[in-house]
Amino acid sequence: MKYLLLIFYSFPIVLLATNNTEIQGIVFFDINQNGILDPGEPGIAGVCVSNGKTVVQTDASGKWELPAEKMNSVFVIKPAGYDVPLNQDNIPQHYYLPEKGKFQTDIHFPLYPALEKNKFSALFFGDTQARGLREVNFIMHDVVEECMETDAAFGVSLGDIVADDPSLFAEVSQGIGHIGIPWYNIFGNHDHDRNEKRNENKDKTFRRFFGPSTYAFEYGQVAFIGINNVFFNKKGKYHAHLTDEQLLFIENYLSFVPEEKLVVLMMHIPLVRIDTRDRLYEILRNRKQTFSISGHVHEQIHVFVDEDMGWKGPAAHHHLINATVCGSWWCGLHDETGIPHATMNDGAPNGYSIVTFDGNEYSIQFKAARRPADYQMNIYLPDEMSQNELDTANVLVNIFAGSSRSKVEMRVGKNDEWIPMQQVATIDPECLRMHRLSPLLDREIDGQSLEYVFGYKMDYPSISTHMWQGKLPEKLQPGTHLVTVRTTDMFQQTWTGHRIFRISGN
């Protein structure tokens, strides 16, 4: 059930909190769904409330109290089995923002009982990164429209929602809101306010649209923590960093989360780039069930953070650098509908992830934008070759969501044995071909600039982490042949791809 509310704390309130007072309130069951604590509406016990540093739980009557520190928000951490109000764009309204830095003394948070299954899925969008309304339209037509029939419980945008223009938050959110599920947002380096000099104010517009940039919520047997890990120095340069307050928030909140629950960290810049990650690893070291996800890189990479990388847990931590909706910044040749192919720097198509949670376990499926669900690879092989070329001919395949834990094999024909393929570090050849077309941006055809036809100049392709290679049998006879590639990922999901090629006589 959906609850659309813009305001959900009680009025009237006259007193204002100062640094020497407490802020307090009640988390309550909003029976009439008006967002106001009315007589007879009961409080809810054991719900976490935070100011972004300190975390407290409500008492038996739903009451909570926090120090009125110099924080920019107070928020309730949605417990499993409850909903928070949503605004007209399906953005969760789980927070209170002070006016001119002053908190009201009584802040009440409404909750509604919800039927939550232990098995559910969530959509994760990396870097939608719209430059102007034209690219907002790309987001809608390329990705959002195909998600209208989703059965996902909620979605998350992993930062860089826009490209240095927070005024577009409204248009992007209004479009994504039509998917019809709660939608959470993570702060990215391109979502900042350029005119703000201090790091703590860089997310000012973001907070106004989406609430605090570090927060948490629970669903099923999973605790989700959204983290703003983009830190701007006095010169306006950014790096991945978690402040003392953020680390305390994570530590304080996890003290209330049972050990058997899965903890999911959501951020923009990859985990392994955070300069204070060792302190985060220490907080998580006794957690057996953890997973984290980010965007930022415009590639799709599975990182297994082990002891050699500083991880302190009993087993390697899985971090997914998620696929981006914008691909490589909406670059590429336009298709028949006017949308760029937007291939990512590693040769994978633009798209998003569908993460399925089952208790405290999870699995991930990559979904290429506007492609069938089973489109999971590109196979590269010449259309035609001679028998003399077979001894040097290789089958190259890009498994878009592949990792070092993937099994990849190939066979020629329908009855031959499966041949293991070897993972290789190389550039996707089709991505390189498209990049070589980029100089055409500097030319005109019939007086029309090709910038309109092609888009922005692409980055040079990266060394992909999900390429595999195998050799063709050397005794293939002239004629038409079929090569099939099969892969099984770390979640035991199996995908196949095919390519037909010809062998000519010598």
Q: Which residues contact 466 (CB under 8 A, 6 or more apart)?
A: 300, 301, 346, 348, 398, 399, 400, 401, 402, 403, 406
Is the model's pLDDT at 89 over the cut of 90? Answer: yes
pLDDT of residue 455: 56
pLDDT tens digits along 372-411: 999 999 999 999 999 888 888 899 999 999 999 999 999 9
| Amino acid letter, 90 | N
Name the DSSP letter for residue 459: P
pTM greater than 0.85 (yes/no) = yes
Q: Residue 333 in contact with residue 454, Cβ under 8 Å? A: yes
pLDDT range class, residue 446, cuts 50, 70, 90? low
pLDDT of residue 6: 39
Q: Residue 66 in contact with residue 22, Cβ under 8 Å? A: yes
Task: Give burial (CB, 10 Å; 0-12/13-18/19+) of 225.
Answer: buried
Is the model's pLDDT at 7 over the cut of 90? Answer: no
Mean pLDDT, rounded, for 114-126: 96
pLDDT of residue 486: 98
Q: Residue 23 in contact with residue 103, Cβ under 8 Å? A: yes
* Cα 453–chain centre separation: 29
> To the nearest whole percent, how much of the chain has pLDDT over 90?
79
**What b/e sequence results for 303-340 when a residue is b if at least 16 CB atoms lie within 10 Å of its CB, and e otherwise?**
bebeeeeebebeeebbbbbbbbbbbbbbbbeeeeeebb
Is the model's pLDDT at 324 over the cut of 60? Answer: yes
Cα–Cα distance measured from residue 232 to residue 26, given in angstroms and rounded to the nearest whole number: 35
Q: Residue 295 in contact with residue 188, Cβ under 8 Å? A: yes
pLDDT of residue 101: 65
> To the nearest whole percent, how much of the chain has pLDDT over 70?
91
Q: Residue 308 in contact with residue 324, Cβ under 8 Å? A: no
Angle at 240 between CA 239 and CA 242, to 5 degrees: 125
Integer angstrom CA distances of residue 50 from 73, 214, 253, 268 = 8, 10, 8, 22
Integer angstrom CA distances of residue 89 from 172, 178, 248, 444, 479 = 10, 7, 31, 42, 57
pLDDT tens digits along 231-249: 999 999 999 999 999 999 9
Domains along the chain with CATH numbers: 1-115 (2.60.40.10), 119-368 (3.60.21.10), 377-427+462-504 (2.60.40.1220)
pLDDT tens digits along 459-489: 889 999 999 999 998 888 999 999 999 999 9
Mean pLDDT, rounded, for 325-345: 89
Is the model's pLDDT at 182 over the cut of 60? Answer: yes
